[in-house]
Amino acid sequence: MSRTLRIEPLGRTVAVEEGTTLLEAALAQGIKLRSSCRNGTCRECIAQLTEGRVRYRIEWPGLSPDEKAEGFTLPCVALAETDVVLLQPRAELKD
């Protein structure tokens, strides 16, 4: 079942298919999110989840317990369990 990902403050919403990460879904649908390793270690993609719930493709994504408690997530390894809203001021539309 597909979920939705809204990216703020850009105000764009994309579909997230089962098994697709938030990063992959955004990039495939014209939204540039910063990333590098794409395996949950470099933290380049870190963003705040303001609504919804994710699970991770890997067991230990590079987030501290405090960051998790504050809602930070790594979109490159995050799978949407519900419709989600991501706060990422550096997101931009692809050319």
Site of interaction with ligand FES (CB under 6 A): 35-38, 40-45, 62, 74, 76
C-alpha angle 62/73/42, rounded to 5°?
Answer: 35
Closer residue to ligand FES in complex, CB, 6/72: 72
User: How are the residues of the chain apportioned to helix, strand and coil, as percentages rounded to the nearest 5?
Assistant: 15, 35, 55
Nearer to ligand FES, 40 or 52 (CB): 40
Minimum CB separation of residue 31 from ligand FES in Å reads: 15
Give min distance, CB of 78 to ligand FES, in A: 9
Which residue's CB comes closest to ligand FES?
76
74 and 61 in contact (C-beta within 8 Å)?
Answer: yes
Q: Could you give the count of Cα atoms lying within 13 Å of 63 in the half-sphere of its Cβ?
A: 26
Least distance CB 57 / ligand FES (angstroms): 11
